[in-house]
Structure 1
């Protein structure tokens, strides 16, 4: 495990918050992998500031297994960290730093595995099946980068047999997660002096009306919608996270922006929900237009990714359970790129990685050392299966 921790220390030191470039980290990883004998390929973003990485060690004419992770992390501003978030701190069996749990711990373990596989091959014990690694950018803002990577992988002569997404699941094999659609509502009203408020159309009030409609839809989903008790939150949720509007207290605001999201169960298609939300927006505008012809309320998608839904009896599930030694499977409410691998490449996929999502995105994010050790053991078992 020492090698994994040493690699994690280097990974944490790269500031790969989604708004920043990830190229320094990707190039460092690429050099390591090529030194281990892996064939690598970069898939850059349009502006060239970021890149995905795909690597293969072993015979590329056979399927093998794909390990998938993301290089970006969430911001640290406004969080009360007690140590430098971009410097790994070791204390009481825990490793603190931004991205340790989500999900540089898994990436470190995967890179250490490539080193062990290379050392094994140097002794004459070659891989009979290849080991693949996919690292993507901008997962935290909508699984954006991996889509380009998947386009590249779709053209591979031989695709990986299985995919293991290493998001933090406490090393439990996860077969399903919710899909997500992020949306933005733009409310357009009529501004005026606040002393004449009834003569204007308050865009913040319009956003409030839409929020009321969203809560009504949410309550219906909770009480009468699809349900799966295997999830921590067993129904489809609607969550409003950002509202921005107004310039001054004495001005009736003519603009307000509301950002919200849907996290839907695999069996709960998002299309009808989007129709219901649009109907709420249209009803608000119809009510206001007779008195305020300039009233407007648009709803647009910011990003989305599909749910993952792998049958618990699928071959990939038994394969990864055998690697971990665990008997149970689970489902998670947070999302991953796994649904995209399943949807666009028809690739059997599960999620299984070290750490807890409960420690992610928080100040003093950490991963327990015993979780990294468990991940190393799983990956050693994978290496044995590929040899």
Structure 2
């Protein structure tokens, strides 16, 4: 079968698995495991503690260090409340585009990598190729963090990683980190006519948000002079403030969901230290003066390192040669790449499709992008015999 037709058929199968992060990805992982084993891969499946999610790690070629890792996440974002014109989990081909949830983010890359597995098996006589398909990237890179722990304990692991997030097949050597938090406020409920007798959790949450806004402005002055990112500074975004039950009730509970995207590790420490001091020295004493049980608890949803551009990067050199690119850039969105870089691998992000289509209704992947990805992977296969 023609590689593009084979990959398109496989992508149709993958889209049909509704692997929204809140649900299990096991069926898709088991399907991919069967395909890879049929190609001769040595396959491992690592389940999460709950047993409903799993990572897949597979190898084709010799059992030696220095292999090339092809990585993608299996989960997709929800489709609820989105106005799709077709069934999001039934891929539709129209006008040179493949429509369906996850086509570009990022099952298209996974399909291309797996479709190429038999060809890799014919050529990987000198250097192994690895496949890493993870769970829960969209909600904090949880699967990749677990897989990184598994790989860190091994003497034999890859030295190069290609993360196939949608970049329009551009070579990306850097992106910011992503830290996500939920802050839970516990106050004291009461009648709205006597606000001083209660602890208004929403009002204290608002004060916290105001501090986040202030920190966001202060971070602009900390931007490194040669920052390659746009914007060049660490950003903070308040995604949600939830609390209260009625107009005349002092809310006893509130929650803030917020994120930070650091351009340098010191910025994260700067923000967290400031917020800890603000809570301990300002907010909590006021709250506990009324109710000793009042509290502020920060839940870490995920803290994922960014991908730092480095002068010597074998992954960049390989992918630039394969794609014909004459340079590498950066992107504002986060990926799992920093986790693999922290293991000592050289890493780039390069994959089919545009991030502009990700997370939206009628998400699509252009067939031309998939064709370019297959050309890159075909060339990669030729390097595995060296």
Q: TM-score, normalised by structure 1?
A: 0.93
Residue of structure 1 equivalent to 2:8: 5
Residue of structure 2 equivalent to 1:307: 306
Whether the aligned pair in 2 keeps the contact of 1:266 and 1:308 (CA below 8 Å) is no
Q: Distance in 1 between matches of 2:64 and 2:293?
A: 61
Out of 18, 21, 33, the residue aligned to residue 21 of structure 2 is 18
Where 1:358 maps in the other structure, the secondary structure is helix
Matches within 5 A, 1:180-259: 180-226=178-224, 230-259=228-257
Whether the aligned pair in 2 keeps the contact of 1:241 and 1:259 (CA below 8 Å) is yes
Q: Distance in 1 between matches of 2:226 and 2:17?
A: 39
Q: CA deviation at 1:61?
A: 2.6
Where 1:59 maps in the other structure, the secondary structure is coil
Residue of structure 1 equivalent to 2:96: 93
Structure 2 residue 35 is the aligned partner of structure 1 residue 36: no
Residue of structure 1 equivalent to 2:73: 70
Q: CA 1:267–1:329 in 2, change beyond 3 Å: closer, same or farther?
A: farther
Q: CA 1:228–1:257 in 2, change beyond 3 Å: closer, same or farther?
A: farther
Q: Distance in 2 between matches of 1:7 and 1:227?
A: 46
Residue of structure 2 equivalent to 1:322: 321
Matches within 5 A, 1:260-299: 260-266=258-264, 268-282=266-280, 283-291=282-290, 293-299=292-298
Structure 2 residue 335 is the aligned partner of structure 1 residue 336: yes
Whether the aligned pair in 2 keeps the contact of 1:173 and 1:352 (CA below 8 Å) is yes
Structure 2 residue 145 is the aligned partner of structure 1 residue 142: no
Whether the aligned pair in 2 keeps the contact of 1:71 and 1:103 (CA below 8 Å) is yes
Q: CA deviation at 1:209?
A: 0.7
Structure 2 residue 356 is the aligned partner of structure 1 residue 353: no
Q: CA deviation at 1:98?
A: 0.7
Q: Distance in 2 between matches of 1:152 and 1:130?
A: 18
Where 1:195 maps in the other structure, the secondary structure is coil
Residue of structure 1 equivalent to 2:105: 102
Q: CA deviation at 1:291?
A: 4.9
Structure 2, gaps ≥5 residues long? none
Q: CA deviation at 1:303?
A: 1.7
Q: Distance in 2 between matches of 1:239 and 1:385?
A: 43
Q: Distance in 2 between matches of 1:85 and 1:233?
A: 33
Whether the aligned pair in 1 keeps the contact of 2:187 and 2:287 (CA below 8 Å) is no
Whether the aligned pair in 2 keeps the contact of 1:72 and 1:137 (CA below 8 Å) is yes
Structure 1, gaps ≥5 residues long? none
Whether the aligned pair in 2 keeps the contact of 1:36 and 1:115 (CA below 8 Å) is yes
Q: CA deviation at 1:232?
A: 3.0
Q: CA deviation at 1:294?
A: 4.5
Where 1:382 maps in the other structure, the secondary structure is helix
Residue of structure 2 equivalent to 1:151: 149
- Aligned residue pairs, count: 381
Residue of structure 2 equivalent to 1:167: 165
Q: CA deviation at 1:380?
A: 0.8
Whether the aligned pair in 2 keeps the contact of 1:177 and 1:266 (CA below 8 Å) is no
Residue of structure 1 equivalent to 2:364: 366
Q: CA deviation at 1:229?
A: 5.2
Q: TM-score, normalised by structure 2?
A: 0.93
Q: CA 1:156–1:192 in 2, change beyond 3 Å: closer, same or farther?
A: closer
Residue of structure 1 equivalent to 2:383: 385
Q: Distance in 2 between matches of 1:234 and 1:155?
A: 35
Whether the aligned pair in 2 keeps the contact of 1:338 and 1:350 (CA below 8 Å) is yes
Q: Distance in 1 between matches of 2:128 and 2:139?
A: 30
Where 1:367 maps in the other structure, the secondary structure is strand
Q: CA deviation at 1:220?
A: 1.0
Whether the aligned pair in 1 keeps the contact of 2:197 and 2:290 (CA below 8 Å) is no
